Amino acid sequence: MVGVAVNLLGLRVFIVCIGLVGNVFLILAIIQTKFTRLKSFELFLLGLAAANLEEILIMTAFDVVVLQTSSAAVGTWSCRSLKFLTKFGEIASILFTVLISVFRQQKLRDADKRANHPIYLDSIRSAWMASGACVLFAALLSLPVFIIVAEGPAGNATGNATAMGNATAMGNGSGCLPDFFQCSEDHCPAINGVYKYLFLLLCNMLPLAVVTVTGCLIIAVLLGHRSKVRPASIGRRGRGSSLHRSTVAVLAAMGLFQLDWTLYLILQLTIIPTDWNFWAEAEFLISFSYTSISPYVYGMGNNLFSLRNFRKK
């Protein structure tokens, strides 16, 4: 059991390092282009990378400050603030992914008929407004963290801590549990359940539906263009191939998003955290796999991780 815990800790550290490097490089690669020349898609990628990076840093701080020290030493507001910032980064990452998928689908829809006419989100002002809406919505959906009851009676704290794989840190009975919805079966206020299912609906089910629909529409457009555009696109081969590569990268990231958050939904709806010792690790691996891998998918698909960019930097 100790060996498994050590291996899981090593895996967590590896994923965190991969995520930090990928998101920092993506931000630096985008910032290289001056903000006056920043395009809408790059702005959305910048927002996604910033949200991913914030979530990784805060979750790491949560592990170090709360789980590796006595949770009794962590004040209630400090605990809730860390939870708020973690949830904020997670939701913002999800919303920016939805925004990227919608933007790319709108760009491809009726592209031949629209010619060079821009869509609404091509305007950098509209892109900033959409990004601001994502940030505001993420903050609003994270605020209930400050009012939900984060733990059950003191007698159940030790059992809950063991289920999270952190009995040493939580065994003191006060507990600052990293699970945002967890409470004991004997003492679980209604507001916890309301927030859990509202969160799953607005931040998981609805985004999954949007990403799935837009992904299907993008694939349909690509398949349609494959047979029609080839003769006419000889003169625009470079531009068309770069757009195609970028679109494939968006689809790959969307597929990773669907896989991760579908699995997260299944676990949340079918498993009781107190009955599974590795719930915290499973939740971490699911949410952080997208956060850590997606910047590489977007960066390589949009030539942001090219050797030329690194040499310039």
What value, to the nearest 5°, has the Cα angle with vertex 120 and ends 119 and 124?
105
pLDDT computed for residue 6 by the predictor: 58
pLDDT computed for residue 112 by the predictor: 62
Q: Which residues contact 56 (CB under 8 A, 6 or more apart)?
A: 16, 19, 20, 23, 89, 288, 291, 292
Phi, psi of 190 (to 5 degrees): -60, -30
Find the length of the chain. Answer: 313
Q: Which helix (H) or strand (E) holds 61?
A: helix 40-62
What value, to the nearest 5°, has the Cα angle with vertex 259 and ends 31 and 304?
20
pLDDT digits (tens), the chain, 313 positions:
555 555 677 788 888 899 999 999 999 888 876 566 788 899 999 999 999 999 999 888 877 766 665 545 556 777 788 888 888 999 999 999 999 999 999 888 866 666 567 788 888 899 999 999 999 999 999 888 887 765 544 434 333 333 333 433 333 334 566 566 666 556 667 777 788 888 889 989 999 999 999 999 999 888 876 656 554 444 445 555 777 888 899 999 999 999 999 998 888 888 766 667 677 777 788 888 899 999 999 988 888 876 565 555 5
Q: How far apart are CA 134 and CA 140, in angstroms?
A: 10
Q: What is the dihedral of CA 14, 164, 50, 93, to 10 degrees?
A: 120
Instruction: Measure Cα distances from 263 to 240, 243, 286 in Å.
Output: 35, 30, 7
Phi, psi of 230 (to 5 degrees): -55, -50
pLDDT computed for residue 176 by the predictor: 66
pLDDT computed for residue 312 by the predictor: 56
Inter-axis angle of helices 40-62 and 2-31, to 10 degrees? 150
Domain extents for the chain? 2-227+245-312
pLDDT computed for residue 107 by the predictor: 86
Assign domain 2-227+245-312 one CATH number from 1.10.1040.10, 1.10.760.10, 1.20.1070.10, 1.10.1380.10.
1.20.1070.10
Tell me if 187 sits within 8 A of 244, measured CB to CB: no
